[in-house]
């Protein structure tokens, strides 16, 4: 294989002009080395898939500790997400479950690109999303009393109250009963309530802070052949949240969630394992989904980045994940000059730059001007400086240091 002269950094290509989320249903920009969709890096004037480059030179890019701990793979994926409509109800498996599921499907010789395959790899997919605009989402089951009130208020849902108590086991029975209904049974239960919500919405429109607003929007998009989608059941049961710019939420394995609308930056483990529960044209495996859902009822946990070392110019979004950490570096009212050193691989991506804003990365005798939403890969062990004019902001994805 060809020898690559890495130098200090490599740039990762981005899309030409970030798509307008109002013009497209969902725009995603992936940055990482997952074999399903690896980024490409520019080396000596040509482009190469990042997973292949890492396989060729893991020590240079990952560093020795990351290389050993994560089996010579970049352990995280970074993604810009712009959602203009509700996306699928979904959950992610644990590491052990992913290994078991991936192994079982591989032994059955199910192709990795088969539409009905559940597991694309053997890894878990904890993820963090930080809002870059108001971002609406569903996260986890609502507190017990809210679920009970919801079920009691819908005549067609009264049968579910027969098995509902304020505990995870009974909620799992309710959810399973909903998800195992036939398309015709699903429609029969949902249609009267959807009709009532439409009538109320016509008289006095629901706001985006009301579950009904998103139920109606999702139904308008995902109803097929005159039948309502079973994913709507989840929308009655899950917490509705709105993340303001700068707020974030963490999604460990088992937490049912969906992104409804908004612009954010996601950071996750290196996996493409998604088990869906409706509001999608993709594969839904109810049996497999139910194995992994966490049925705890509680308020959604939302948090903000914490200043690093008393310096609010750099905030850290803390999570339990060992694969990734997200930092945001901000130049507020004055320009900023920070010296950095990468213990492991990093991806940098400018998140805000005014018309006259300037952002420069310097590493030894090299200087790279960063453009809006154009990411940069920094290899392990590189010492570099970030120079930012006032008003600029930068996200930094990295592997957290060990205590």
Query: Which residues are annotated as catalytic?
Result: 276
State residue 101 phi and psi, 5-degree precision.
-65, -45
User: 108-128: b or e for each residue (b if 16 or more CB lie within 10 Å)?
Assistant: eeeeeeeeebbbbbbbbbbbb
Residue 285: closest CA among 402, 145, 120, 117: 117
* Residue whose entry in the numeric block shows the structure tokens 């819908």: 154
Residues 74, 83: Cα–Cα separation, whole Å: 26
Side-chain-facing half-sphere of 359: CA atoms under 13 Å: 24
CA–chain centroid gap for 141, Å, is 18
Structure tokens at 47: 């482009």
* Other Cβ atoms within 10 Å of 95 Cβ, number: 15
Q: Does residue 182 sit in helix, strand or coil? A: coil
User: Whose structure tokens read 């991936």?
Assistant: 102
Closest to 250 measured CA to CA, from 128, 94, 135, 400: 128
Number of H helices, E strands in the chain: 10, 23
Measured in whole angstroms, the distance separating CA 389 from the mean position of its chain's CA atoms is: 29
Alpha helices in 133-280 (DSSP H): 144-152, 168-179, 183-203, 211-222, 231-237
């Amino acid at each position: 294989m060809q020898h690559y002269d890495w130098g200090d950094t490599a740039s990762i290509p981005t899309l030409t002009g970030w798509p307008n989320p109002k013009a497209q249903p969902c725009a995603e920009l992936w940055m990482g080395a997952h074999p399903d969709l690896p980024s490409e890096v520019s080396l000596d004037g040509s482009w190469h898939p990042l997973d292949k480059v890492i396989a060729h030179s893991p020590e240079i890019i990952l560093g020795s500790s990351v290389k050993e701990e994560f089996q010579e793979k970049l352990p995280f994926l970074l993604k810009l997400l712009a959602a203009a409509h509700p996306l699928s109800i979904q959950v992610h498996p644990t590491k052990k479950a992913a290994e078991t599921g991936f192994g079982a499907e591989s032994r059955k010789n199910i192709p990795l690109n088969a539409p009905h395959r559940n597991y694309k790899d053997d890894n878990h997919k904890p993820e963090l999303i930080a809002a870059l605009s108001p971002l609406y989402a569903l996260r986890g089951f609502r507190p017990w009393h809210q679920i009970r009130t919801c079920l009691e208020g819908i005549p067609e849902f009264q049968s579910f109250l027969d098995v509902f108590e304020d505990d995870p086991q009974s909620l799992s029975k309710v959810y399973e009963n909903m998800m195992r209904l036939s398309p015709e049974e699903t429609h029969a239960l949902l249609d009267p309530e959807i009709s009532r919500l439409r009538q109320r919405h016509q008289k006095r429109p629901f706001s985006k802070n009301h579950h009904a607003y998103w139920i109606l929007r999702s139904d308008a998009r995902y109803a097929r052949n005159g039948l309502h989608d079973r994913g709507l059941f989840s929308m009655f049961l899950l917490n509705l949240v709105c993340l303001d710019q700068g707020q974030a939420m963490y999604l460990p394995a088992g937490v049912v969630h969906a992104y409804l609308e908004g612009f954010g930056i996601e950071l996750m483990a290196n996996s493409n394992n998604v088990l869906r529960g409706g509001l999608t044209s993709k594969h839904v495996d109810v049996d497999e989904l139910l194995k992994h859902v966490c049925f705890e009822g509680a308020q959604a946990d939302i948090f903000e980045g914490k200043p690093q070392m008393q310096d609010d110019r750099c905030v850290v979004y803390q999570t339990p994940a060992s694969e990734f950490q997200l930092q945001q570096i901000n130049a507020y009212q004055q320009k900023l000059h920070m010296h950095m050193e990468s213990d492991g691989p990093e991806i940098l991506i400018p998140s805000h730059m005014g018309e006259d804003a300037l952002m420069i990365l310097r590493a030894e005798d090299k200087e790279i001007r960063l453009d809006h939403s154009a990411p940069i890969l920094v290899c392990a062990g590189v010492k570099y400086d970030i120079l930012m004019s006032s008003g600029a902001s930068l996200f930094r994805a990295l592997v957290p240091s060990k205590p």
